[in-house]
Amino acid sequence: MSTIAEIEAVLPNLTSEELMKVEQAVHSQFRQRGGGMVFDDTYGVETEADLIASADAAFQTYDQAEAKNAKRPAR
């Protein structure tokens, strides 16, 4: 079993307080590594990949609405 699978298997058994500590530890690792981090506050860490995924979802929604109004298939 991989380390990731072991961690994922244990998560459902943790209390909310323990999950918060795990989340803080993960955020700390992101902060220490720094690469690709765009936004970092008490709510969490936002990475370039997160921003790209959010933008992609927004553009897909926009393209679908445009296609519906233009009566043509979305890209």
Q: Is the pLDDT of residue 58 over 80?
A: yes
Q: Taking the complete model, does pTM exceed 0.95, yes or no? A: no
CA distance linking residue 69 with residue 24, whole number of Å: 45
Q: What's phi and psi for 37, nearest 5 deg? A: -80, 130
CA distance linking residue 49 with residue 47, whole number of Å: 5
CA distance linking residue 58 with residue 38, whole number of Å: 19
Mean pLDDT of the chain: 84
Neighbours of 28 (CB within 10 A): 11
